[in-house]
């Protein structure tokens, strides 16, 4: 029997410190701290001053394997996830080859298991080759060993309303959710940055808020009529929050995520001309970011998802227009949430558990993640040092790529340890 004893942690940062005993991957005891409880063979984590939460779940990770293993592999991305406090990630389908069939999703699933640092759940593509024309074999991917329940063409919008309608209708029979990258392509031809004063001044073609909002509105209506579940990826504008509120008030089965970078960063960053700040959807205005933070606190936005998007130096260290959009996120997500949500009093640690673990687990249909911290539940856990700070250095992150927009920033909240089914996967910044 493998045992782990977590000593003196505060569950959700509330109440008195407790000891948590884990055996065979399951929480077996939660009780008042006792000094002698541990036999020799038990691994002990001294968690004095630390907060214990259910392990984080990322609905939106790009792992780049297969196809771009020069920027991230399932192994390096899993390490970044474990170090970031994650016990499960959903790996997006825009790989090469695309994860639009059972062979590719099963490969990603198995490789994730082999690495064993985090549960890697592949997202299946909605359409063949992400081309937006023909539905991929959603049923076969759902029935595969990977048990796919989230489908997305992320990187591309399922723009054709007929294709989106069919995907939504078909997904209901699979108890699956369609995650939409909401971007009306006719409105973002050549777009480089948020359409507004700053992009205009620098001469960048604009990516209007309406390109996102019009697709979200359309898809909410399609989901309503189909009785289907829709998830909106990387919400970036205040107008989208309005549409989501409208839909949720009417019982539409829609959920939505926000990225850490859209909570913290704005198009003020454009002035640097540094493509590390180029991302899709683009960084918006301070008013948008403020609305996103309030909507996350209030529940109109369900969760935080990283949209961790590694890119090679040659695809980032170039002129803005030629650079690929995307930013690293797995190892900095918690700290950005602490900075933008916890420190200003918008979320307590219960709220962090909700937006980084419980809601994403529910949305992805992961029965063993985001669970209460009580005996009998799987020991998928993260220990956080809430008062510690650290300085972000891209070169020190576990990802192969180093395109972090937080380079050199000092951020609060440090992952002290991550536990996957009772096994310590990361501790004090090192992979185990």
Ligand X SMILES: NC(=O)N[C@@H](CC(=O)O)C(=O)O
Q: Are 268 and 282 in contact (CB under 8 A)?
A: no
Q: Is position 262 annotated in a ligand binding site?
A: no
Helix axes 238-249, 209-226, angle to 10 degrees: 10
Q: What residues numbered 349-378 form the site for ligand X, per CB under 6 A?
A: none
Burial class (CB in 10 A: 0-12, 13-18, 19+), 368: middle
- State the nearest-atom distance from the C-beta of 59 to ligand X, in Å: 12
String marking each residue 311-350 x if it binds ligand X according to CB under 6 A: -------------xxx------------------------
Q: Does 279 bind ligand X (CB under 6 A)?
A: yes
Q: How far is the CA of 366 from the CAs of 148, 372, 413, in angstroms?
A: 11, 13, 26
309 is a site residue for ligand X (CB under 6 A): yes
| 156 interacts with Zn ion by CB under 5 A | no
Residue 60 per-residue DSSP state? E
- Answer with the entry of Zn ion, ligand X, none that 266 interacts with (C-beta below 5 to 8 A by kind): none
**Cβ 346 vs Cβ 294: under 8 Å:** yes
Total number of residues binding ligand X (CB under 6 A)? 12
Query: How far apart, in Å, are the Cα atoms of 395 and each of 64, 230, 287, 309, 421?
Result: 18, 37, 32, 16, 30
In the region spanning residues 299 to 328, those forming contacts with Zn ion, defined by CB under 5 A, are 307
Nearer to ligand X, 155 or 360 (CB): 155
Tally of residues, the chain: 432
Select from Zn ion, ligand X, none the partner in contact with residue 279, using the beta carbon and a kind-dependent cut-off of 5 to 8 Å.
ligand X
277 near ligand X (CB under 6 A): no
The CA-atom distances, in angstroms, between 404 and each of 10, 171, 363 are 31, 35, 27
HSE-CB of 72 using CA atoms within 13 angstroms: 28
> Cα(78)–Cα(130) distance, rounded to whole angstroms?
24
Q: Which residue from 50, 94, 188, 192 is in contact with ligand X, where contact means CB under 6 A?
A: 94
Q: What phi and psi values does residue 287 have, to the nearest 5 degrees?
A: -65, -40
Catalytic residue (choose from 267, 307, 315, 385): 307
**307 has catalytic annotation:** yes
For residue 62, say whether it is annotated as part of any ligand binding site.
yes
Q: Which CB sits closer to ligand X, 280 or 332?
A: 280
- Contact flag: residue 276 with ligand X (CB under 6 A): no
Q: Which of residues 164-193 bind ligand X (CB under 6 A)?
A: 181
**Residues annotated in the binding site for substrate, as ranges?**
62-64, 94, 280, 311, 325-326
- Binding footprint of ligand X on the chain (CB under 6 A): 62, 94, 154-155, 181, 279-280, 307, 309, 324-326
Catalytic (active-site) positions: 307
Per CB under 5 A, residues contacting Zn ion are 154, 181, 307
């Amino acid at each position: 029997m493998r045992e782990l004893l977590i000593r003196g942690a505060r569950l959700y940062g509330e109440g008195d410190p407790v000891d948590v005993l884990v055996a065979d991957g399951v929480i077996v005891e939660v009780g008042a701290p006792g000094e002698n409880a541990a036999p020799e063979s038990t691994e002990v984590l001294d968690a004095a001053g630390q907060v214990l939460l259910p392990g984080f779940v990322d609905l939106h990770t790009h792992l780049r394997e297969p196809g771009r293993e020069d920027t991230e592999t399932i192994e390096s991305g899993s390490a970044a996830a474990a170090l970031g406090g994650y016990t499960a990630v959903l790996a997006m389908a825009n790989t090469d080859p695309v994860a639009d069939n059972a062979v590719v999703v099963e490969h990603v699933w198995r490789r994730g298991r082999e690495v064993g640092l985090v549960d890697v759940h592949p997202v299946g593509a909605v359409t063949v080759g992400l081309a937006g024309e023909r539905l991929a074999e959603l049923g076969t991917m759902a029935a595969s060993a990977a048990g796919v329940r989230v489908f997305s063409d992320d990187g591309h919008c399922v723009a054709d309303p007929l294709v989106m309608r069919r995907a939504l209708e078909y997904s209901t029979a699979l108890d699956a959710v369609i995650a939409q990258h909401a971007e009306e392509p006719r409105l973002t031809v050549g777009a480089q940055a948020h359409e507004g004063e700053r992009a205009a001044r620098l001469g960048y073609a604009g990516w209007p808020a309406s390109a996102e909002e019009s697709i979200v509105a359309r898809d909410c209506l399609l989901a309503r009529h189909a009785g289907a579940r829709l998830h909106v990826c990387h919400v970036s504008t205040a107008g989208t929050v309005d549409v989501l509120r409208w839909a949720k008030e009417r019982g539409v089965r829609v959920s939505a995520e926000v990225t850490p970078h859209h909570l913290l960063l704005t198009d003020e960053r454009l002035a640097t001309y540094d493509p590390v700040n180029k991302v899709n959807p683009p960084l918006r205005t301070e008013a948008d970011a403020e609305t996103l933070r309030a909507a996350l606190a209030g529940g109109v936005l369900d969760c935080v998802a990283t949209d961790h998007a590694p890119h090679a130096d040659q695809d980032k260290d170039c002129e803005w227009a030629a650079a690929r959009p995307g930013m690293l996120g797995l190892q900095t997500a918690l700290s950005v949430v602490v900075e933008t949500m916890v420190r200003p009093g918008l979320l307590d640690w219960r709220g962090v558990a909700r937006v980084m673990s419980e809601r994403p687990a529910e949305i992805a249909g992961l029965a063993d993640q985001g669970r209460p911290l009580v005996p009998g539940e799987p020991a998928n856990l993260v220990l956080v040092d809430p008062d510690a700070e650290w300085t972000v250095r891209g070169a020190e992150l576990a990802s192969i790529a180093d395109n972090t927009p937080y380079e050199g920033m000092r951020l609060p909240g440090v992952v002290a340890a991550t536990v996957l089914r009772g096994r310590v996967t990361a501790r004090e910044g090192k992979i185990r």
